[in-house]
Structure formats: C-alpha cells, structure tokens
C-alpha cells in the first residue's frame, strides 16, 4: 500500500490532463526559484554599490571627482551613483548654457535625477510581477488539476459494482497531488515577493533621501557661485 501510494506512483498514475497540470506547475516553480535567486543577488549588489557610493559621497570627495569616476565606471556603478551622475550631467549642461537662474538649474537637475530614479526602480521591480502571478495563480491551477482528477476518478468508479475506500483513495490522492504542487509553487513566490517588495521600498526611500540631500548641496553651490560672481 505504501509503495502504491508513493508520490511518484501517484503522479505516474494520474490522468494525462492532471500530469500536464503538474508538469506546468513544476516548470513554473523552477522558473520562480530562478527568478528568486536572481533578484536576491541583484538586490544584494544594489545595496552594496549604493552603500559604497554613499561612503565616497560623504567622505569629502569633490562633486567633479565623483562625477568623473561615475562617467568612467558607468557600466558597473550602482543606481545611486547613476542618479547622481544624471543630476550632475544636467546641472553642468545648464551651467554651460550660462543659465544663472537658481530655480531653473535646480528644476533641471531634479527632473534628471527623478527620471533616472524611475528607471532604476523599474529595473529593481522587474520579475516581481512574475512572482506575484505565480503566487496568485498556481493554487488555482493546482485546484483545476485536482477537480479534473477527482472527476476522472469518479467516472472510472461508475462501472464498479462495489466501491470501497481502497478503490476511491488512489484516484483522490492522485488528484490532490496537483493541489500540493500548486501550493509548493505558490508559497515561496508569495514569501519572496513580500520580502523583495519590502527591500525595494527601503532602497527607494534611501535613494529619494539622497536626491533631496544632493539637491540641497547643489542649491548651496549655486548660491555660492552666484555670490562669488557678484
């Protein structure tokens, strides 16, 4: 009885539709785990690069030196450094056009940083929708497989003269495996989605705070340059 009721035996004994549902759920589960690990390492790298740039930024290094380093290392710098570079690039372009109005300079730099911030957030949130879909849809796909399997099992029992628990149990168990696999695919995806959404919110708050702090520094620089020009 134990051998007949093993998971492998139940899967092999299920109907073709239920087996296809199980195969789909297993493929989705593997894909979601791959997305989870990619996102885990990507967010860890983002936090590390942001912290490294923040240390350099507040270490007293000049803005021009930081900008030169960001331009030189554009492919490998972190989101916060790219946001900084966008703001500095726009600020310098406006200064080259001899725009002296403080409001225009600050608005241009801030718009450039906000646009860069949005691009970074879009990148950070990639694959989250996939995990959300896996978490919400997989249980229903598994339930569909279970309902279909139970229907198939009861249809097969229609021609039997005597129905006992031993004749009903294998068919029901085969069907329930689909729900189990659906939950196995959904639960890690939901947990990972909630964790990543929280981590991304923290990263976003930190980068928005940096934008405000850097804007204040630029504002002071514009004021100082205007005073020295007069």
Considering only residues 152 and 20, tell me which one the structure prediction assigns the higher pLDDT.
20
- Confidence category of residue 3, pLDDT binned at 50, 70, 90: very low
Packing angle, helices 79-96 and 63-72, rounded to 10: 120
Give the Cα separation of 86 and 116 in Å (integer).
Answer: 7
- Confidence category of residue 224, pLDDT binned at 50, 70, 90: low
193-204 per-position pLDDT tens digit:
999 999 999 999
- pLDDT at 230 exceeding the cut of 50: no
pLDDT of residue 21: 86
pLDDT of residue 8: 65
Considering only residues 37 and 15, tell me which one the structure prediction assigns the higher pLDDT.
37
- Confidence category of residue 13, pLDDT binned at 50, 70, 90: low
pLDDT of residue 2: 43
- Dihedrals phi, psi of 201, to nearest 5 degrees: -60, -40
pLDDT of residue 1: 41
Copy the structure tokens of residue 129.
């929708």
What is the end-to-end Cα distance of the chain in Å, rounded? 94
Percent of the chain topping pLDDT 90: 49
Give the Cα separation of 194 and 188 in Å (integer).
Answer: 10
Measured CA to CA in angstroms, residue 3 lies from 10, 47, 60 at distances of 10, 49, 70
What is residue 77's DSSP assignment?
A: -
Considering only residues 150 and 119, tell me which one the structure prediction assigns the higher pLDDT.
119
Considering only residues 85 and 163, tell me which one the structure prediction assigns the higher pLDDT.
85
pLDDT of residue 104: 83
pLDDT of residue 157: 65
157-173 per-position pLDDT tens digit:
666 666 565 666 667 77
pLDDT of residue 19: 83
Domain boundaries, given as residue ranges, for the chain: 7-229
- pLDDT at 223 exceeding the cut of 90: no
Considering only residues 218 and 5, tell me which one the structure prediction assigns the higher pLDDT.
218
- pLDDT at 154 exceeding the cut of 50: yes
DSSP 114-169: HHHHHHHHHHHTTTHHHHHHHHHHHHHHHHHHHHHHHHHHHHHHTT-SS--HHHHH
29-65 per-position pLDDT tens digit:
999 999 999 999 999 999 999 999 999 999 888 888 9
Give the Cα separation of 15 and 146 in Å (integer).
Answer: 11
């Amino acid at each position: 009885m134990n051998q007949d009721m093993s998971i492998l035996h139940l899967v092999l004994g299920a109907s073709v539709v239920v087996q296809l549902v199980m195969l789909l759920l297993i493929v989705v589960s593997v894909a979601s785990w791959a997305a989870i690990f990619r996102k885990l390492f990507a967010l860890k790298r983002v936090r590390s690069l942001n912290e490294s740039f923040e240390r350099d930024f507040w270490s007293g290094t000049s803005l021009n030196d930081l900008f030169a380093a960001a331009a030189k290392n554009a492919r490998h710098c972190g989101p916060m450094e790219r946001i900084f570079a966008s703001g500095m690039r726009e600020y310098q372009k406006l200064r080259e056009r001899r725009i002296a109005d403080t409001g225009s300079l600050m608005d241009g730099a801030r718009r450039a940083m906000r646009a860069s911030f949005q691009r970074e957030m879009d990148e950070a949130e990639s694959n989250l929708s996939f995990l959300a879909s896996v978490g919400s849809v997989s249980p229903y796909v598994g339930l569909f497989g279970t309902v279909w399997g139970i229907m198939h099992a009861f249809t097969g029992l229609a021609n039997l003269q005597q129905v006992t628990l031993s004749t009903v149990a294998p068919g029901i168990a085969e069907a329930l495996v689909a729900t189990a696999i659906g939950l196995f695919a959904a639960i890690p995806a939901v947990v990972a989605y909630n964790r990543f959404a929280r981590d991304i919110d923290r990263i976003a708050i930190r980068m928005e705070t940096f934008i405000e702090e850097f804007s204040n520094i630029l504002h002071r620089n514009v004021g100082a340059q205007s005073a020295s020009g007069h």
